[in-house]
Amino acid sequence: MYQILSKEMLTPTICRMDVKAPRVAVSAQPGQFLIVRPDEQGERIPLTISDFDPERGSVTIVTQQIGASTADINACEVGECFSDVVGPLGLPSEFVEMSPGKLAGMRYIFIAGGVGTAPVYPQAKWLHSRGVPVDVIIGAKTKDLLIYKEEMAAVCDNLFICTDDGSEGFHGMVTALLEKLVVQDGRKYTQAVAIGPMIMMKFTTLTAKKLGLPIIVSLNTLMVDGTGMCGACRVSVGGKTRFACVEGPEFDGYLVDFDEAMRRQGQYKAEEAAANEKHVCKIGRGK
């Protein structure tokens, strides 16, 4: 069993937990994910690893409550245990395999949207610890939905906050801020990475292409079973069918068919709505 070591509600619907999973913690790399099953009857939920501590034997997950299963995860309390935590799954971020010489010539800009900020954190942390220059944009609709501000500021060179309503930081979309940093401020980057809502990644990719900036995107939101068996994470990348959970979750943003990916994302909305209406949280009962 995988015990919950700590729990913090970052917003009313976004929860951060440290979970005891020694073998996962020892093997995890930035960009990978794991599968969490809250109880024996629970659904398998893929969650990107938000941090890992091999010495403590723990991994950090951040869960946004959207449906019945994520509500069950967020209802768990410190001291309780998940039935399963499987991982690390997926391929690590490509920079993990880069030589020190190649890394020395890189300068990264991460664009994090909403709960996508959590999986950006271990990537920025890994690069920053190796002396690679890292800037990060965190975007949200309003300041109340911003997460990981203090943590991110500690693992990057420059942190830029962006809110749609202007309640904190830059007033506008992350795409406008990215363009400002490159065009008006003259900042030079060799690689962009965008993680967040699919629509945000689509338009961030279009902006990066306009700026001549290579960009990687994470398609973790497409995953269901995490093994490639269900086929729900199929996506066209460069005209070829790829499976986000076993061949990703990160891909060249220029090559991703975002419109197809967004259609696939919406295919279970009716079933999710029905499950939410019938949902009765079972977590904590009988333990």
The structure tokens 């890394």 sit at: 103
Confidence category of residue 282, pLDDT binned at 50, 70, 90? low
What is the token pair recorded at 124? 């920025």
Which CATH number does the domain housing residue 113 bear?
Answer: 3.40.50.80
Same domain, 16 and 66: yes
What is the token pair recorded at 192? 């962009």
What mean pLDDT comes out for the span 168-178?
96
Mean pLDDT (the chain) is 88
Q: Which of 65, 89, 113 is the last residue of a domain?
A: 89
Give a yes or no: residue 44 inside a domain: yes
**Do the bridges between strand 158-163 and strand 215-218 make them parallel or antiparallel, or are there none, so unpaired?**
unpaired
Number of compact structural domains in the chain = 3
Q: Please check whether residue 124 is in contact with residue 148, taking contact to mean a CB–CB distance below 8 angstroms.
A: no
What type of residue is 183?
A: V
What mean pLDDT comes out for the span 242-264?
87
From the number of C-beta atoms within 10 Å of its C-beta (0-12, 13-18, 19+), residue 188 rates as exposed
Q: Please check whether residue 284 is in contact with residue 77, taking contact to mean a CB–CB distance below 8 angstroms.
A: yes
CA atoms within 13 A on the CB side of 192: 29
**5 to 52, 53, 158: CA distances (angstroms):** 13, 12, 31
Give 276-285's long-range contacts (Cβ < 8 A, gap of 24+).
276/67, 276/68, 278/68, 279/67, 279/68, 279/71, 281/71, 281/72, 281/75, 282/39, 282/41, 282/72, 283/38, 283/39, 283/72, 283/73, 283/75, 283/76, 283/80, 284/75, 284/76, 284/77, 284/80
Same domain, 175 and 239: no
Give a yes or no: residue 191 inside a domain: yes
Same domain, 143 and 237: no
Confidence category of residue 285, pLDDT binned at 50, 70, 90? very low
Give the end-to-end CA distance of the chain in Å, rounded to a whole number.
Answer: 13
Given a cut of 70, whether residue 225 has pLDDT beyond it is: no
Give a yes or no: residue 55 inside a domain: yes
Which CATH number does the domain housing residue 6 bear?
Answer: 2.40.30.10
Highest mean pLDDT among 33-37, 45-49, 250-254 belongs to 250-254
pLDDT for residue 37: 87
Residue 213's nearest CA partner among 182, 258, 184 is: 182
**Do the bridges between strand 108-113 and strand 191-195 make them parallel or antiparallel, or are there none, so unpaired?**
parallel
Weakest mean pLDDT among 51-55, 174-178, 232-236, 241-245? 232-236
Confidence category of residue 164, pLDDT binned at 50, 70, 90? very high
Same domain, 201 and 114: yes
Confidence category of residue 139, pLDDT binned at 50, 70, 90? very high
**Rounded CA separation 111/176 (Å):** 11
Confidence category of residue 267, pLDDT binned at 50, 70, 90? low
Same domain, 196 and 250: no
pLDDT for residue 287: 40
pLDDT for residue 245: 78
Weakest mean pLDDT among 134-138, 256-260, 264-268? 264-268
The 10s digit of each residue's pLDDT in 103-121 is: 999 999 999 998 999 999 9
pTM: 0.87
Confidence category of residue 263, pLDDT binned at 50, 70, 90? confident
Same domain, 174 and 70: no
Domain hosting 109: range is 94-216
The 10s digit of each residue's pLDDT in 43-64 is: 888 888 999 999 999 999 999 9
Same domain, 172 and 262: no
From the number of C-beta atoms within 10 Å of its C-beta (0-12, 13-18, 19+), residue 228 rates as middle
Same domain, 201 and 233: no
Please enumerate in sequence order all residues whose Cβ is within 8 A of that of 44, keeping only pairs 6 or more positions apart, or say none. 35, 36, 37, 84, 224, 225, 226
**Rounded CA separation 49/105 (Å):** 27
pLDDT for residue 286: 40
- Bridge partners of residue 155, in order along the sequence: none
Same domain, 123 and 197: yes
